[in-house]
Amino acid sequence: MAIKVRCQRCRRKISIDEAFAGGNCRCPYCKAITMVSGRSAVSRATRPDRPDTPTAAVSQAPPTEAVPLAKPVRVQGIITLVLSVFVLLLLVVGVFLVVKWSTGTDKPPVSNAGPGPVKNGTDGTETPGDNDGRPSIPEPTNPFTVKGPNVAGMIITSPVVYVLDGSLMKQDLYEPATSVVRYSIIAMGFRGKFNVVVLNAEGFKPLGDKWITGDEAGDAKAKQFMIDCKSEGATDLAGSLRRAMKAKPKTIVVLTCKAAGGVDELVEQAKRAGVSIFAVMLDSPPNAVKVMKKLAAGTSGQCRQFAGDDLVELISKAEALP
């Protein structure tokens, strides 16, 4: 059994076998010689005489090799143990709060992500899932009421370049497409950054040369810009996507009714730029949807298609835009 004593020099607790009770030991911390209190079962004749005073213990100690070395007591009292437990609890609570804050409690729900029809949740109508083989999850809300950075219910990352194909005018879908863009800008909030590009007969026309904040003022700028730019005409969708990548966004959202050419090349360029491409297809033929799904899947993006009438109905059931 061990005896705990306090070093006469450094005052730290040390431990020595009870066989050395009444003798001396050497402190493992400061190497000073300290008397061991108590009576020993071992004969005093087997070890040096114990000095009468602490001073004598130090000055008259036997040679170093004759004095047993005590062991350190790791926990220096109950207060140290309690403080250690308290600090550990604080650390655990701090980590929990940081994780909770970083994940957030209002993260938008994952949109439907697999082939096959999914219930809309507002009126029971069905809309196709177009997220390229990902697990299909029922979408409980209108995609234009989802909060947080998203476009048509698909989660996106800021900064975002919205590429709006002016050729949608031919199908009277340009105005609903502008609403899709505006719902996304508003859902992104003031922490998000974006730009808008409109493709028309005049070519590639951006809203500006700097990122715009996703707040009410940013939405108002985008709204007026898209109204002023709408016009029919042939558009170069693939070339516009390449130009949009030069702005170094995290996400490109393209709203169109047709497919881009040179998809394999676009995928490679987007990968090098670290850009994910999301496609919102409006009244598009199946072959165009297939091509844009390939583009989205190859860049870790998603593709969703809407019939024109369904899109207008969903927008009418969402919160009115300012």
Same domain, yes or no: 138 and 210: yes
Out of 14, 41, 72, pick the residue that ends a domain.
72
Range of the domain at 130: 117-317
Same domain, yes or no: 62 and 123: no
Specify the number of domains making up the chain: 2
Same domain, yes or no: 271 and 189: yes
Same domain, yes or no: 52 and 178: no
Q: Taking the model in full, what pTM does it have?
A: 0.59
Looking at residue 165, which CATH number applies to its domain?
3.40.50.410
Same domain, yes or no: 215 and 121: yes
Going from the C-alpha of 65 to that of each of 33, 95, 107, the distances in angstroms are 12, 50, 69
Same domain, yes or no: 68 and 191: no
Same domain, yes or no: 145 and 48: no
What local confidence, expressed as pLDDT, does residue 12 receive?
A: 87
What local confidence, expressed as pLDDT, does residue 50 receive?
A: 47
Which residues in the chain come in under a pLDDT of 70? 38-65, 74-79, 101-140, 230-233
